[in-house]
Amino acid sequence: MEQAVRIALDVMGGDHGPAVVVPGAARALTTRPDISFVMYGDEALIRPILDQHPALAARTTLVHAPVSIAMDTKPSQALRQGRRVSSMWMALEAIKKGEADATVSAGNTGALMAMSKFCLRTMAGIDRPALAAIWPTIRGESIVLDVGASIGADATHLVDLAIMGAAMATIVFELETPTVGLLNVGTEEIKGIEEVKTAGRLLRETALPNLAYHGFVEGDDIGRGTVDVVVTEGFTGNIALKTAEGTAKQIGAYLRSAMSATLMSKIGYFFARSAFAALKEKMDPRRVNGAVFLGLDAIVIKSHGGTDAVGLAGAIEVAHDMVRQELLEKIRRSVALAQESRSLDAVDSTVPTQLVASPEALS
């Protein structure tokens, strides 16, 4: 029998805390029964809710954490006040101590990133971590990164994002060579800022393993599902993410208004309600809740702060699957192979041209 996947939960994180996190864990346990939990937070608040879920309680260790990190706390302040004693820090430290395989938090994104980098460090060969989100598309789903872990990126970091995103796509989408595109203001090679153009050249010229470089993609290509992995820096990625979320809510509001405007529209809705139910399910953000911090030497999953138990369960399922499918090892191998390819390219570029035989000399 396989060993249980141990998930550390920041129970106090998010807009709703234990009222959502505990039922979410119970829900995840029904779909991933090989999980055990270590919950960190205010025991007086958590215990009464946990006792309502006997199956979950039997697979949970509850650890009291006297401090919770507020959603509006600045990362630097969270580090000063929350180190060692907050539910967020203790959930991260559980990985470092070998007491958990992954951490899930719906808490403050900036604080979670700052604490993760400080407590867990980045993976060898990776300068900065990234936040990778699963994005619903017309074709199915894509991975988009970075959606907010850090602002700005040079060409090398963009290439690192491509490598890490492709490694994640091999697990999530079960693909041997996922297609990767760089988000740009146009698909032509002459367009865009120098960092993006240089990253595109590097991805074209370097034979990186386990990914197929597609080229530049534009904003509308994200929803189309033109590629399996869309790469951009965190400022642009976060704006794209929030714009998509707002657009989905806007369309939903328009539809509700239109369907209730007249008697005929109400009748039309009655006959088409199954189609609208399918549309609602397709656009439900809870289906793809759970962004992955890639580049850390650990598996950390960020859940949307305002999600419900269904969405929180989805984030836990992502954590479970990343552990079971050995995401970290896949990224390590991809990064090592990429560095080897870069080294070989560097050696080739230093060979004097006079040492290379001409076609005439070989004839």
pLDDT in tens, 203-212: 988 877 788 9
Q: Which residues pair with 122 in a beta bridge?
A: 296
What is the predicted pLDDT for the residue at 286? 61
Least confident of 54-68, 69-83, 252-266, 297-311: 252-266
Terminal Cα distance for the chain, rounded: 64
What is the predicted pLDDT for the residue at 341? 67
**Do 1-126+295-341 and 133-288 come out as alike in CATH topology?**
yes
41 pLDDT exceeds 90?
yes
What is the predicted pLDDT for the residue at 312? 93
What is the predicted pLDDT for the residue at 345? 57
Phi, psi of 251 (to 5 degrees): -65, -40
pTM: 0.83
Domain locations in the chain as residue ranges:
1-126+295-341, 133-288
Residue with the two structure tokens 């305002």: 306
DSSP class of 180: E
CA 99 to chain centroid, in Å, comes to 23
What is the predicted pLDDT for the residue at 357? 39
CATH architecture of the domain with range 1-126+295-341: 3-Layer(aba) Sandwich (3.40)
Least confident of 25-29, 187-191, 235-239, 299-303: 187-191
HSE toward the beta carbon, residue 88, CA cutoff 13 A: 34
From CA 71, how far away is CA 68, in angstroms rounded? 9
Q: CA 343, 347, 350: angle at the middle one, nearest 5?
A: 145
Beta strands (DSSP E) in the chain are: 5-10, 35-41, 60-64, 102-105, 130-136, 141-145, 179-183, 212-217, 229-231, 291-294, 299-302
Rounded to an integer, the average pLDDT of 137-156 is 89
From CA 30, how far away is CA 287, in angstroms rounded? 16
Instruction: Judge: domain 133-288, CATH 1.20.910.10.
Output: no
68 pLDDT exceeds 50?
yes
Q: What residue type is 213 in one-letter code?
A: Y
Structure tokens at 251: 């369309």
